[in-house]
Amino acid sequence: MAESKEAIIQRLCNPGIIAVVRARSKEQVVPLAEALLAGGVVAVEITMTTPHAIEAIREASATFGSRALIGVGTILDQETATQAINAGAQFVVTPITKPEIVSIAHAAGKPVMIGAYSPTEAQTAYEADCDFVKIFPADGLGASYIKAIRAPLPHLRVVPTGGVNLDTMKSFIDAGCVALGVGSSMITKEILENDNWQQLTENAKAYVEKRLELG
CA distance readout (Å), 199 to 32, 104, 163? 11, 36, 20
- The domains located in the chain, with CATH, are 5-207 (3.20.20.70)
Residue 106's pLDDT is 98
Phi, psi dihedral angles at 20 (to 5 degrees): -95, 110
CA distance readout (Å), 156 to 16, 52, 65, 145, 198? 16, 33, 30, 13, 36
| H or E stretch covering 11 | helix 5-12
Residue 2's pLDDT is 81
Phi, psi dihedral angles at 134 (to 5 degrees): -90, 110
pLDDT in tens, 97-111: 999 999 999 999 999
Residue 80's pLDDT is 98
In which residue ranges of the chain is pLDDT below 70?
A: none
CA distance readout (Å), 24 to 47, 49, 52, 144? 11, 9, 10, 33
> Cα–Cα distance between 172 and 180 in angstroms, integer?
8
Which residues, in sequence order, are bridge partners of residue 159? 134
Active site residues: 45, 134
| The model's pTM | 0.96
Residue 189's pLDDT is 97
Per DSSP, the three-state class of 25 is: coil
